[in-house]
Amino acid sequence: MSANHPIDTLADSRFIRACRRQPTDATPIWLMRQAGRYMPEYRAIREKVSMLEAIRTPELAHAITMQPINAFAMDAAIIFADILTPLIGMGLSLDFVKGEGPAIDNPIRTAADVDALRTPPTAETMPFMTDAIRLCAADLTPRSLPLIGFAGAPFTLASYAIEGGGSRNYQMVKGMIWDAPDVWRRLMEKLVIVISDYLIMQVQAGASALQLFDSWAGVLSPADYAQSVAPYTRQIIANVKSNPQSARVPLIYFSIGTGTLLDQVVALGSDVISIDWHLSLDRAWQYIGSDRAIQGNLDPVLLFSEWPALQANVDRILAEANGRPGHIFNLGHGILPGTPVETVRRLVDYVHEKTLIAQASAER
């Protein structure tokens, strides 16, 4: 990591301090999918270009990343991209079908399919990501705002790659885990190479934090997670932490429905653990331990409710955090399409105002 990397300048930002469990003047807040379909500015761009075109055009990715930063008082930005983009460089044919989501035309089903997958350096397959991150970091750092880079965790990427898209029961991916463990292992090993390189590249380009999305890990039993998933996710985190260029950048592990897996999630080694709304924040923190920061955990559907209900749930979450250093306010998953923009603004401002007052009262 170069001496003038943004992480050095942003060490005292709310978000980075919270990731490191240091006191902050107010609770930092950012929202997953904060740059997306609920914003009219985003929809205006997407009316003209496809998802992949927006991702592959650094100027557009930069503009979309900055939209929520310009509209709200967020404490961090997250680069506009998609977790599945690295699969293209591995040889999979990915498209985003309107109204249906991601679709892979040549899903992985056999040992030969896995053997055919490539593991080229990110610099060769996604140079547009480097350019977009540099543009965003140059814009954000003078504002004292970190940029979060991210990637999909190996199980979640494998789920899409094997099923060919989203799934309800994950029959094919579970079938490979159970019936073809050697094939599964080879697939995981290739994904570890690609994901590790991708995350490290994002830090080199200027990302000041990383998030590893394991969105579908909650569909697994504790035994399957322990044997067939956790070792590979842990290896990615270890690779990032052992690389001198990315070692000082906080890493967040995000998953859904993994309350029964928290002991294993803790053992993965991330700096921050993001939890969903199925488990109370204070109880989750008891499981996770005081040596980890925690992110979460508002139900995104609450953003469609009337303000009294939303405010009550925000108050509850902040009360569960109880002013402990190391809380990053976020949703338990991403902002949903159709979420009212004014509700997002009111939420962000309220979290700041309430915790600023609480901090001022504590200091008196």
**82 classed as catalytic:** yes
Pairing mode, strands 209-214 and 327-331 = unpaired
Q: Which residue do the tokens 């490979």 mark?
A: 176
**248 classed as catalytic:** no
**56 classed as catalytic:** no
Q: How many residues does the chain have?
A: 364
Q: 37, 185, 234, 346: which one is catalytic?
A: 37
CA distance 156 to 150: 13
Secondary structure of residue 217 in the 3-state scheme: helix
| Residue ranges in the chain assigned as alpha helix (H) | 6-9, 14-19, 40-46, 51-56, 58-71, 86-89, 111-116, 122-125, 127-140, 154-163, 171-179, 181-205, 222-228, 230-242, 262-266, 281-288, 307-321, 341-363
Query: Can you give the three-state secondary structure of 109-137, one letter per residue?
Result: CCHHHHHHCCCCCHHHHCHHHHHHHHHHH
**37 classed as catalytic:** yes
Q: 14, 33, 56, 292: which one is catalytic?
A: 33
Q: 160, 225, 232, 350: which one is catalytic?
A: 160
**Concatenated DSSP letters for 9-37?**
HTTTSHHHHHHTT---SS--B--TT-SST
**33 classed as catalytic:** yes
Task: Give the catalytic positions in this structure.
Answer: 33, 37, 46, 82, 160
